[in-house]
Structures are given as structure tokens and as C-alpha cells.
Structure 1
Amino acid sequence: MSFSRTARAFLSSVRLGDALLAGVAGLVAAFYCALAFSSAGTVEILQALLSLLFIPLFLVWRSRPIVSATGFLVLLLAWAVIWMSQLPTNSGLTPWALTAPMAVYTTSRYINHRLLPRAVLLITALGTFISPFMWRIDAESYLLRYEVDTPFLAMVVAHWTVLGSTYFIAARYFDRDRQREVLARERFHQAQEEERLLIARELHDVLAHSLTLIKVQANAGIVAATADSGAAEEALLSIRDNADTALGEVRGIVAALRSPGSTALEPAQQLEHIEGILEGFRAAGLKVDANLPPEYAVPSLVQMALVRIITEGLTNALRHQGVGTRVFVELVLDDAATLTLTSTNPHPTPSNVAGSGVGLVGVAERARSLGGRLDYSGDAHSFSLHAQIPMKETKDATQQL
């Protein structure tokens, strides 16, 4: 059972182009097998067996470059030994010689340690001197002969030109891919930094509300202390509860803050505004259905995060799937706030306006900063987003502080 799962996983990982190459290799191997059946000679049988061994290497020649390159070189060496054992009789040239530049390409394109592709290039360059293409047919005897002359040197130059060009072309693709990875990492870190700055701005709103309540209740407690001890105790209890709430919410973002925030702060949106946000996207062309709780007894920072996540999910649907996309939003409030957003469109019409590519990264960072998680997946036809953010972080955070 596990073998069948492994086989299915392997076949699903094979690229279409590699599968087509393996199919062509199968046709070549079938030709050599037919020769082996017709002549039943030792050389023909060995060549047929080697041909069959080439086929699986084509399936993994890009996904497993070390395996494929090693296999190509070993099989080419074995083929050359068998071929030279028949000299001076000409046993024919073989298309398997093309796997030498393939070994150079796959190592130069996909291997990070650059010493290995250089070693493969050197081995294939030295292998030029035993290549079947280096022998020439004698015009009188029709036998093969090995002679170092001008045509020989021209053939060496041709071999090395093909191998060298393949190496440098693949190396350029390797450098391009590395630059893209570096750029993607930079954009990811930039998105994280922007999210930290946004959290820092919103910190002002959380503390301003809670500390204002604390101040008012403290003043009330001072006044009531001389007249009504019960009222003073009630004020102190209220101060404690509000302080716990404020400390918990601050604790939820303190790990995410790495730089000072701005003093020019924007007001944060709460879940009470979510219906207006949904109506705005409906007006833009989305078919939005929502299953939302009647009340939002949720900490302020969690509300901000949920609003941002919902807004980003709807924006993603509108941008990548277009008008007419059906979106379903469900929010469940328990010990944790659980948000599910799905969007489907059988006939997507993506917007011409390109996104920054970091919006989902940003809201995922926000969810993690509050002790939660956010997962998303999909394509042009369907997209799903699932977020879960704990709402008891306030109590736990207060105890830790």
C-alpha cells in the first residue's frame, strides 16, 4: 500500500516535458531491443539493457539532477567501453550521446554547490576523446580509425563548444533563479516589516481606549473612597479588568514589534464595520454571502486582524477571479476566532491591476503575531483561506506579564 502511494507521489511529481523525453527515450530503447532480438549478439543485448536503463533517468533529469547526471555518465562510459570493444568494426553511433550535455545542463541549472557542475563539465570534456564521434570510417576498408589531425581537432572543438555553451546557458538560468529567490525573500521581509509598522500604529488605538477608561475610573475611585467604600472597590475592580485587557492586547503584539511606530496613527477598523465592507465588495461585483455572529465580544487587536484578513481575502477574489465571483465568509467565535473564506468562479476574469504579492503574507504575519495561524491555497478558479486566532490570549498574556 505504501509502495503504491510512493509510486503515485513520484508520478505526480514528474514534469510533462520530462515524461515526453522519457517517451522518446523509450522509442530509442525499443529500437535497440529490436536489434537485440533480431541478432541475439552479446553487444546488441548489452546495448539494449543499457538503453532501458536510460529511460527512468529522463523522468528525473531535472528534479533529481545528481542522480540523473551520475546515471547518464555511468551509462555513457559503459556504452563507450562496449562500443570500443568492437573496434575497428563500426557498431554505429548512438543518440544516447546527447545525454552528456543534458548531464552538464541539469547540474549547472539546479545544483547550488557550483563545484559539482564544473566537475561534470570537466568529465564530459575529457570523455570527448573516447566519444564514438571521434573515430572516422576509412574510405577503403570501411573500418574505423582514430587519427589526431585537423578534422579530429575540429570535432574536439565542436564537442567542447556544445558542452561549454550548455554549461554557461544553464548557469545563467541558475543565477536568474537565485536572483528571483533573493527578491522574493526581500519582498517577504518587507511585507513583515510593513505589518509590524501597521501593528505599531494600531497599538495607539488599543492603549488610548483602555488607558482612558482606567484614568476615568481611577479618578472616580479617588472621589468615592471618602464617601462610599463599595463604589471605590467597584472602581478598582473595573480598573483591574481594563488593565488586564490592555496588558493582554499589548502582549499579543509585543513579540512582533521591532521598530518604533509612527505618531501619525490611523483609526483601526473593528468588526462592527464588517457589513459595510462586505457591501462595498458586493457593489464592486462580488457575490458575497456571510455567516457572522450577532455580537462581537472580541479583543480589539483580534478584531483588527479579522477585518484585515477578510478585506484581503475579498480583495484577492476580486483581483484574481473577477466580477461575479461567489464568496462565502464564515466567522465563528469561541475560545478562538475561526474565519473561513472561500471564493469560486468557473470563468474567472482577473483584473489588469497587478497586486503587490505581499498582502496575504502580511495578514499571515499579523495572525502569527497574535498567537494564531493563517493558511490559504487555490488557483484562478477557486481560493480558500482559513484563519484561527485565540481570544484567550489576554488572560494568558496578563499572567506572563
Structure 2
Amino acid sequence: MTAGQTPLDRHAVPVEGDLSLPKPPGVIRRFWSRHPRLTDVLVAAAFTVPAVGASLLVAWVPDSVRNPDLAPLGAVVYVVGGATLLWRRRHPWAVLVVAWVISLVGVPVWDSVDVTLMAFALYALAVYGSVRAAWIGLAVSALVTAAGSGVVAAIAIESNVPVTAANFSQIGALLIVVLVGINIANRRRYVVALLDRAAQLARERDQTARLAAADERARIAREMHDIVSHGLTVMVTLAEGSAATTTTDPERAVVAMRQVAETGRRALTDMRRMLGLLDDGLPGELGPQPGLEDLAALVERFRGAGLRVTVSAEGIPPADPAEQLTVYRIVQESLTNVLRHAASGANVTVDVRYGTAGVVIGVTNDGPVVAPPLPGRGRGTVGMRERVALYGGTVESGPRPGGGWAVRATLAHEPAPAAAASTTPDESETAR
């Protein structure tokens, strides 16, 4: 830790979000914490005024010391030393060095070692520096005090107190000052650490909320893609078929257009339900997500759009609604891709196997690719990968050797501990 201001001194306590920090107890303590510069001025005055006053008093009482003519010089030295206390927070080492010099310079004036300024500097070093710096400063201060006392003894100044006793008492006083400063500094650092930890927890809370919101947006985006992509693909296919049979088979064209309207209404209902998850102000539009019991109706809609779909299922379906929705969406996206990219009248086989460990879904078709196919950007395949990744599964898709396309998805009954990141689809999947 450098010898500078702590976060508490700079009033830079980190605050994140709605983190509410407790106020320091007491009106007086809060006042001093808000006015650090005023505190420094008062501390400097607390040292300078008595020291200068004592120096001037010595000048008026010539018999009090051996060299009363040097008393005015001592007053000037004390003014300089008191001025350095204004920088005790940012530069405690510099203040302590000045205190050592002033203590030695004052020996001829006071016939003794004055450790008052040294005590102020050591306290500042302990509070605004580090514990190691405080002990080093105390050791050097003890040497300076001993050296000054040696000078006093060498010039044989008469004193009622033995030099060694005075020396030990001064060093003991400095030790007490350092211990008090270290205790206060440790408490301040502990408070700063608690505030930093609270701010970190607040940031982690906000980040967790943002990640949860991002996951929810991604989930809703997948649902919206499946709803819109499926609905519009079926509607476009039915509309093209109706336009092609308007003159040759008007009744069939009418039926196709009614299916277009029904598909559009169903898509709107699904979209309202999804939007209801985003806005609580849409009452009456919320409903259950589709499940395995809705697969038959889904297949019928694709059959009405011209696909020849064969469905086979084996095993006991899972009871988890989320897993049922995943199976439903994978079948829906696979059939939508067939309707979008394969030729009209393609034969499609949907094979769903429910096992004890998981579900295996296979969707194959024998239709050649339409040129040009309906536009797509491969997001449906990415969505399928993301869905099965939540259950620790995989998706494989690609062209069949004999023509057509095949999709195979596997997923476990239990969600994966950590959702795997979706991989980038290859060029063939993106094209589909």
C-alpha cells in the first residue's frame, strides 16, 4: 500500500446500483470525515501554536535554557515543521524526515530532544502508510532520539532527569503513538475492504440479473423465430399453391386460403402469448406452451401445406413440459426447413424414440432442393442446437446419400449442469 490517501479519505467509496452505505455514527465524526483539509489545518495548528509559544516564552525567560538567543530561530523551525503537517496524508515519509531534522536542530535551543513533531509524523505514517513503514519509521526515530540524547549528554548539560531515562520515556511515547495509529489504520482498512466487498456483491448481483435477462431474451427469441418461421413458411407455401390452382381447382384454392388464415391466426395467438411474457399488460393472452400432445395438429398443418408426413413414436414420452417443448420445436423446425427448401410433395419421415436415458428425434425427407429456396439464414439450426444443448444433447444435419436431407437430435431427460455454447453451423446447414 502506498503512502497516500485511503478511499475513505478521498470520499471515493465504491457504490454500485442501489447499494446503501451506513452513515458514520455521530454528527461530529461525520463532520470531520467531510472536511479532511480542515482537520489537517487544526492538527498543524495544534502543534505549531504551542511550539512557537514555548519558543517565544524561552526568549523572554533567558535563564530557562543555555542559548536563549536561538529561541526565535526555534520558533521559525517549528512553523516550518507545522506547515509540513498539512501534507501528512499524502507524504507522511517526508513529514517524518522533516521531524527528524527539526528534532536534531532543536537540541541546541531546548537542551533536549523534542519528539512532538516526530509523534505527529509517526501517527500519520501508521494511518496513511503501512504497518511496515510505521515500524521502520519508529526504529529510525528511536535512533534519532538516542543520537540527540547523546549530543545532549556530550555537551554536559545539567538536567534533573537522567539522559537515559528521558530517552526511554520518549521512545516509549513514540511506541504508544505508533500502536494507536496502526490500530486505527487496520480498522479503516477493514471498513474499506467491507465496502469494496459490498460493491463487488452489488456488481455481481447486477451482472447475474443482466445474464438472466439475456438468457430469457435468447429463449424468447428462439420461440419467436420458431413461431414466425413456421407460420410464415406454411402461409407462403399455401398461398403459392392456392395461386397455382385458382383457375384449375377453385375449391381447393379456397380451402388453401382458409388454411392460410387459420395458420395466421394461430401464429398471432402464439406471438401474443410470447409477448405476454414481456408485458404483464396483456391479460388473457397467456397460455401453455405446446407439448407432445400438439404434435398431431402440427403434422396435420404441414400435410395441409403439401408435405407427405409419416410419424412414428416409440417409448414413454417425458413428463417435463420444457423437454416436451424442446421435442416439439425440433420437429417443427425440421418440418419447416423441409417445407421451405424441399420440392413440393416431398415425403417426410418423423421418428421419435423415447428412452430411459433421453429422446432421439430423426426427421428425413427425400425431396430435392428447390431452386431458388425460400430465404433463410440458418438461425433455426442454431436454435435447435441451443435447445438440445440445455439437455446435454447434440444435433446432426446434412444431406442424405440418396437425396434429401436428414436431421438427428438427441437430448437427455435431465438438463445439463451448464448449457453448452452453441456452435456455428457449417455452410451446408446455413444454406438450409
- Determine which structure has greater relative contact order: mean sequence separation of CA pairs < 8 Å that are 6+ residues apart, divided by chain length: 1
Fold match (TM-score > 0.5): no
TM range (shorter): 0.3 to 0.5
Bigger Rg, which one: 2
